[in-house]
């Protein structure tokens, strides 16, 4: 590998280097963890923020977007976090448990720790894990993520998070909302390990409350789906936001397991939802959905790699994007099929609806297949709203704005309905309506 060429730091990069020096002593972790943080910070210092000449960030130039590095958000009290939560609407009256991360660190007071324990779910502070013997294991990243800049930023600055362990065979009765709460402005960097043990069933709702101002939000969700386990994760990022929203999924899926995920992005000026998913056991299924809406000059990016490293697994990737004004949408999806991963079934589809004449979609679905006995397909479409459909609805008396709403909702609903999680279907539909009405 070539040594990275030294770069001229942007203001944000210089700020990040200074931020790291300032916070390093106060960040959690064993000596091994600190070494990983140092290496990640060194990477940022040497190569800068990911930018358009890095293949994976070709359309998503974080370096150009980030004008400065806001300080990390200071620790928040329970009362402060609670008051933000009280004014936060996520899933309305849905019966659910809650786990709260406030300004990047776990808040046990506001979390349903005891009730979850009774259901076989333990929730512990990520920072306790980082300080422990195997702390560095919590920061492990998969090979396919390479030198990913978003992950490096997370590793360097991670303030905390949770480790959620669902015990063998547990079937948790309610979904669990894992909410990242921002109290005051500032960058939020957290990491969460979710372990769903053998035969367990778990539904996770990932939400984001409060306003980080210009500070970036960088959250890693690291899932271990054991043999025979089922995990459904819904990531809901809705509402206007000035700072970059950077989300990373790392998932390992054991044998006979099911993993379902839907990433919903609507509103932020700059959002990237990236996922690195690998099958580690046979006869498993991953269904990955994306629902993306952007307007103004905003950017929303859904990027993923699904690694079929073992035979007999199915994956489905279905992404829908609606862009208005001069917004930019990005879909980069890759299915890897290893040489021995026979009988892989992969079906990837990305569809974009352009409402604004200046809107642009970069659709890049890819297959990298090294096995011969597989069934893999990919497709991409991009178009405007169908005038005949619109006319049909209007001819029945539905006013134009409402007809458009119905059609956008219909377009996005295909992904929401295939995701097929009753607990979120209605709320996500309401979010689409809210976005359209805004």
Partner 1 sequence: MLEIKNLHARIAEDGTEILRGIDLKVNAGEVHAVMGPNGSGKSTLSYILAGKEDYEVTEGEIIFHGENLLDMEPDERAAAGVFLAFQYPIEIPGVATMEFLKTAMNAQRKARGQAELTIPDFMKLVRAKAADLNVTMDMLKRPLNVGFSGGEKKRAEILQMSLLEPSLCVLDETDSGLDIDALRIVSEGVNKLRSPERAMIVITHYQRLLDHIVPDVVHVLSKGKIVKTGGKELALELEKNGYADYVGEAA
Angle at 429 between CA 425 and CA 430, to 5 degrees: 120
Residue from 389, 423, 433, 434 binding partner 1 (CB under 8 A): 389
Residue from 392, 420, 426, 438 binding partner 1 (CB under 8 A): 392
- Tokens 């939802």 correspond to 273
Q: Which is nearer to partner 1, 17 or 389 (CB)?
A: 389
Q: Which is nearer to partner 1, 64 or 410 (CB)?
A: 410
**CA dist., res. 421 & res. 431, Å (int):** 15
**CA dist., res. 295 & res. 289, Å (int):** 20
Residue of 117, 116, 99 whose CA lies nearest to 108: 99
Q: Is 391 in the site for partner 1 (CB under 8 A)?
A: yes
Residue from 66, 305, 348, 393 binding partner 1 (CB under 8 A): 393
Indicate the helix (H) or strand (E) that contains 292: strand 285-294
Q: What is the DSSP letter of 338?
A: -
Angle at 306 between CA 324 and CA 299, to 5 degrees: 20
Q: Is 89 in the site for partner 1 (CB under 8 A)?
A: no
How far is residue 384 CA from its own chain's centroid? 27
Contact 11, 214 (CB under 8 A): no
C-alpha dist (Å) from residue 73 to 248, 337, 419: 20, 41, 34
Q: Enter the tokens of residue 329.
A: 């949408």
Q: Is 400 in the site for partner 1 (CB under 8 A)?
A: yes
**CA dist., res. 122 & res. 373, Å (int):** 41
**CA dist., res. 429 & res. 92, Å (int):** 13
User: What is the C-alpha end-to-end distance of the chain, expressed in Å?
Assistant: 48
How far is residue 421 CA from its own chain's centroid? 17
Applying CB under 8 A, the span of 10-18, 239-247, 271-279, 381-389 interacting with partner 1 comes to: 381-389
Residue from 413, 423, 425, 433 binding partner 1 (CB under 8 A): 413
Q: Enter the tokens of residue 414.
A: 């295909």
Q: How far is the CB of 391 from partner 1 (least distance, A)?
A: 6
Applying CB under 8 A, the span of 204-212, 325-333, 361-369, 398-406 interacting with partner 1 comes to: 398-406
Residues near partner 1 (CB under 8 A), total: 23
Applying CB under 8 A, the span of 46-54, 180-188, 304-312, 407-415 interacting with partner 1 comes to: 407-415
Q: Enter the tokens of residue 153.
A: 């930023």
Q: How far is the CB of 314 from partner 1 (least distance, A)?
A: 23
A 10 A CB-CB count for 437 gives 8
Residue from 157, 279, 331, 411 binding partner 1 (CB under 8 A): 411
Applying CB under 8 A, the span of 92-100, 111-119, 284-292, 382-390 interacting with partner 1 comes to: 382-390
Q: How far is the CB of 427 from partner 1 (least distance, A)?
A: 17
Applying CB under 8 A, the span of 93-101, 160-168, 359-367, 397-405 interacting with partner 1 comes to: 397-405
Q: How far is the CB of 405 from partner 1 (least distance, A)?
A: 10
Q: Is 414 in the site for partner 1 (CB under 8 A)?
A: yes
Q: Which is nearer to partner 1, 76 or 262 (CB)?
A: 262
Q: How far is the CB of 316 from partner 1 (least distance, A)?
A: 18
Q: Is 422 in the site for partner 1 (CB under 8 A)?
A: no
Residues that bind partner 1 (CB under 8 A): 387-389, 391-400, 402-403, 406-407, 409-411, 413-414, 417
């Amino acid at each position: 590998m070539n040594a990275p060429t030294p770069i001229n730091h942007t203001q944000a990069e210089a700020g990040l280097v200074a931020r790291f020096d300032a916070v390093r002593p106060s960040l959690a972790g064993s000596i091994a963890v600190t070494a990983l943080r140092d290496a990640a910070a060194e990477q940022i210092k040497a190569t800068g923020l990911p930018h358009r000449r890095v293949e994976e960030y070709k359309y998503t130039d974080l370096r150009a977007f980030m004008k400065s590095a806001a300080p990390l958000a200071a620790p928040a009290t329970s009362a402060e976090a609670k008051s933000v939560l009280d004014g936060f609407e996520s899933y309305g009256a849905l019966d659910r448990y809650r786990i709260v991360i406030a300004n990047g660190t776990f808040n046990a007071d506001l979390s349903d720790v005891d009730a979850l324990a009774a259901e076989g779910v333990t929730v512990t502070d990520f920072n306790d894990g980082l300080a422990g013997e195997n702390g560095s294991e919590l920061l492990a990243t998969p090979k396919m993520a390479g030198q990913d800049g978003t992950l490096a930023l997370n590793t360097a600055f991670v303030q905390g998070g949770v480790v959620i362990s669902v015990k063998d065979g547990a079937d948790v009765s309610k979904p669990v909302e894992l909410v990242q709460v921002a109290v005051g402005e500032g960058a939020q960097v957290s990491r969460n390990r979710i372990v769903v043990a053998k035969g367990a069933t778990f539904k996770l709702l990932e939400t984001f409350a409060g306003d980080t101002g210009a500070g970036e939000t960088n959250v890693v969700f690291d899932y271990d789906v054991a043999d025979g386990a089922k995990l459904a994760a819904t990531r809901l990022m809705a509402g206007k936001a000035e700072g970059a929203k950077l989300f990373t999924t790392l998932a390992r899926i054991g044998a006979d397991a099911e993993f379902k995920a839907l990433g919903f992005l609507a509103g932020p000026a700059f959002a990237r939802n990236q996922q690195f998913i690998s099958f580690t056991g046979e006869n498993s299924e991953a269904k990955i959905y994306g629902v993306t809406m952007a307007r103004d000059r905003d950017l929303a990016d859904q990027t993923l790699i699904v690694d079929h490293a073992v035979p007999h697994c199915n994956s489905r990737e279905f992404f829908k994007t609606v862009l208005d004004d001069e917004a930019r949408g990005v879909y980069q999806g890759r299915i890897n099929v290893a040489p021995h991963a026979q009988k892989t079934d992969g079906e990837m589809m990305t569809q974009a609806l352009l409402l604004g004449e200046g809107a642009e979609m970069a659709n890049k679905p890819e297959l990298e297949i090294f096995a011969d006995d597989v069934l893999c397909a990919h497709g991409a479409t991009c178009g405007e709203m169908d005038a005949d459909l619109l006319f049909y609805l209007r001819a029945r008396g539905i006013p134009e704005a409402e007809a458009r709403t119905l059609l956008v909702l219909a377009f996005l609903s295909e992904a929401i309905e295939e995701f097929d999680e009753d607990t979120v279907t209605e709320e996500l539909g309401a979010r689409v309506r809210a976005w359209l009405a805004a």
